[in-house]
Structure 1
Amino acid sequence: MSQPTQPAASAVAFDLRETDLFAFCRKGGSVAGDVATRDLPRILAETAEDAPASAPDETFHYTLTGFMREEAVEAGAVVSQRLFVDVTVQGRVWLDCQRCLQVYPEPIDTSMRFEVMASEEAADSAPMDDDDIDVIVGSKKFSPLELVEDEVLLALPSAPKHMVCPAVHESLVTGADGEVEPEAPPEEEKRPSPFAALAGLKTKH
């Protein structure tokens, strides 16, 4: 397995595979770098079989920025130190389009702020009243690489499709059982006109 690009953090020791996330946040660490798809096994597993041969070598650009926020209640007394890390990832994943069955590059451009908790118990009890902040459990041997991979996975669409397909595969237009493509909304049944029914009655007399 190749080694991801190891950026130099600003005055903070950093390793993409294992780093002290608490220290990184307390010291205001900031890093940016690139990691190849081949170094992200779960992303590689999602990559289409017919993807270009260069797909495993394509890279994701990431940034991680840590910071600490002190909170006081009264008289300037510090009651807690909250740790956060901002994560951004940009790149692309080659997926199979469910509409035309051809491979296409799905763009990834995601950013998220995480509050770093000291334990699972603290994470479970953390208030979830801010949709812009998620919670993760930090450690002194935290893997930022796995966090980057998680963010890419979460950004993948549940139903991959081109914005505009070059063509719709015929098997998806009309299948062997004669059904129309699942994505096409069923036509509403037309209710018989009462006037047509009256006309029918008149023709019987």
Structure 2
Amino acid sequence: MTQPIDLRALDLFALCRKGESLAGDVAVRDLPRILAETAAQAPASAPDETFAYTATGFVREEAAEPGAAVAQRLFLDVTVRGRMWLDCQRCLTPYAQPIETSTRFEVVESEEAADAAPMDDDEVDVIAGSKRFSLLELIEDEVLLALPVAPKHDVCPTVHESLVTGSDGEARPEAEPEEEKRPSPFAVLAGLKTRH
């Protein structure tokens, strides 16, 4: 019988070097920062909902220059899929926000190496590996980064339908809040000029 994998203390270097892949589900209740962001009025089942994840390690061998020793670069592909209960900023009721992320990480030896890595590759994020790496924390980070800045329903259930769609049934863009009407400085000057 194989030993269950501890997602809080994973040998990330070994996973990448062996080209292994992990897949499973993580419950919201096991992700404290996600639980803290969950809408207060979310359904009672919200902590039992899960995020499906995959984590696949691989090695890429590269020679920096002709004749140089071949360097091994370690990579980890992580996908996370699920949903999270958030408060709608428009109607203040909870709704389920779908979450789907896919990120490639280069795994380096230390925090110093991660900090020193060039930031010119938008396709790959750099993380410091460890023999006791928390994949749970990485999954949690990915979910938090995928959250919308201003969470809201596509169509709020408590806003009257006529406010969201036009008479032709086409969705209208949300009206921007009107800025406070300030008189034009030129109009003020013109008013001063006519008084004399």
Aligned to 1:59: 50
SS of residue paired to 2:24: strand
SS of residue paired to 1:44: helix
1:120 pairs, out of 106, 111, 118, with 111
User: Given the two structures, how large is their TM-score scaled by the length of structure 2?
Assistant: 0.79
2:74 pairs, out of 79, 83, 86, with 83
SS of residue paired to 1:87: strand
Q: Where do residues 112-191 of structure 1 align in structure 2 (5 Å cutoff)?
A: 112-168=103-159, 184-186=176-178
Deviation at 1:187, TM superposition (A): 5.9
Aligned to 1:24: 15
Deviation at 1:111, TM superposition (A): 0.7
Deviation at 1:185, TM superposition (A): 3.5
AA of the residue aligned to 1:74 = P
1:100 aligns with 2:91: yes
Aligned partners of 1:67 and 1:84 also within 8 Å: yes
Q: Which runs of 4+ in 1 moved over 4 A?
A: 187-192
Single out whichever of 77-86 and 33-42 deviates more from structure 2.
77-86
Aligned partners of 1:70 and 1:78 also within 8 Å: no
The number of equivalent residue pairs is: 171
User: Given the two structures, how large is their TM-score scaled by the length of structure 1?
Assistant: 0.76
Counterpart-to-counterpart distance in 2, 1:191 and 1:150: 47
Structure 1 residues without counterparts, runs of 5 or longer: 1-7, 170-182, 193-205
2:66 pairs, out of 74, 78, 81, with 74
1:50 aligns with 2:41: yes
* Percent identity for Structure 1 against Structure 2: 71
Deviation at 1:184, TM superposition (A): 2.5
Counterpart-to-counterpart distance in 1, 2:36 and 2:183: 49
Counterpart-to-counterpart distance in 2, 1:113 and 1:43: 22
Counterpart-to-counterpart distance in 2, 1:144 and 1:65: 12
Deviation at 1:78, TM superposition (A): 3.0
Deviation at 1:158, TM superposition (A): 1.7
Counterpart-to-counterpart distance in 1, 2:133 and 2:81: 21
Counterpart-to-counterpart distance in 2, 1:31 and 1:152: 18
